[in-house]
A = this chain, B = another copy of it.
Amino acid sequence: MTVTLADVAARARVSPATVSRVLNGNYPVAATTRERVLRAVDDLDYVLNGPASSLAAATSDLVGILVNDIADPFFGIMAGAAQSEIGVPGDGTARAGGEKLAVVCNTGGSPERELTYLTLLQRQRAAAVVLTGGALEDPAHQAAMAAKLGRLADAGTRIVFCGRPPLPENDAVAAALTFDNRGGGRRLTEHLISLGHRRIGYVAGPQERTTTRHRLEGHRAAMRAAGLTGTAVSPEDDRLTVHGPYDRRSGYEATLELLRREPGVTAIVGANDSVALGASAAVREQGLRIPEDVSVAGFDDLPFSVDAVPALTTVRLPLYEAGARAGRLAMGTETPPPGGIATIRAELMVRGSTAPPRGDRPA
């Protein structure tokens, strides 16, 4: 019923092996023979049987990209960039083999689903896997991940981290691109402090996530350095920090809570831009103006942040560039950084949503 490689071989009057060589292009074949084979492929509308090919070759052309939340442009931008480096030449052909199939898998932030997806990709004998976004800090899960990644690597799957801190013993991970979340968080809060803010509310991401912790640590480091809090996490820190998911609703609700706890806050920092947008809505709903009464800041610099009113002060992460680089690393078309680890700089973007607090002036 379905056309096989043998059918193509018969029509082109060559052996199946020759057809295979033409399609995979990894072997010298006479030009005229190649032509004949390709014509037969087109004539018969032949499509390579991926499973058979993968079985025989003991590797597949599948590349998995794991994301925490596919509806969040933070991940969409990275995933799209990675995919554009990995997959699909875009000339519509794909008659032959060799094209990678870059696919995005949405874990929804669930550690179980993360592991399950890795198993599924292992089952498919994936050529590479890119893991984006922060990791869960639960020791049991980290151990399970390390074990799973080790097995994947042993089976020949190349593993790349993008926006995720490297594992302690990362024999498995070929390369890790990690964002300077701590530095970005610190510079952002330093900016607010230099404007004169002293009581700064922080709407953090979910607990036990590396991204959450690093951004918060940067914030607290800046506060400490300015003598605004103790050296350890103090009750004061806790009172001005609320955790929640990385979405606008969390920013909205946490900000209402912060304003209730401490009406004297003059600035709210969101763990990311979506949170900051929700925070802005809450601030306004309380009859306060941005930035005159309360400054608001975010993190990531997603495309919509510049269109917020007023434009959102935030920390820019080069998501597209990082994703593209991760894609090239997964393909093996870029040499890994020394030690397999590269830290990607986070740049402070000062815009209209932050200003000196009422009746104050910059330091």
Contact = CB atoms under 8 A, between A and B. Distances in A.
Contacts of A125: 49-51
Contacts of A308: 307-309
Contacts of A62: 124
A247 B89 CA distance: 24
Interface residues of A, number: 73
Interface string A218-259: 000000000000000000000000000001100000000000
A110 interface: yes
Contacts of A94: 116, 119-120, 123
Contacts of A122: 47
A117 B73 CA distance: 22
Contacts of A124: 50-51, 62, 101
Given A105-B103, A120-B94, A309-B284, A76 B83 contact: no
A342 interface: no
Contacts of A306: 281
B248 A303 contact: yes
Nearest to A111: B92
Given A47-B123, A123-B48, A281-B307, A88 B101 contact: no
Nearest to A282: B307
A84 B99 contact: no
A70 interface: yes
A76 B55 CA distance: 32
Contacts of A49: 55, 123, 125
7 contacts: A71-B80, A79-B104, A90-B110, A94-B119, A104-B105, A247-B303, A277-B304
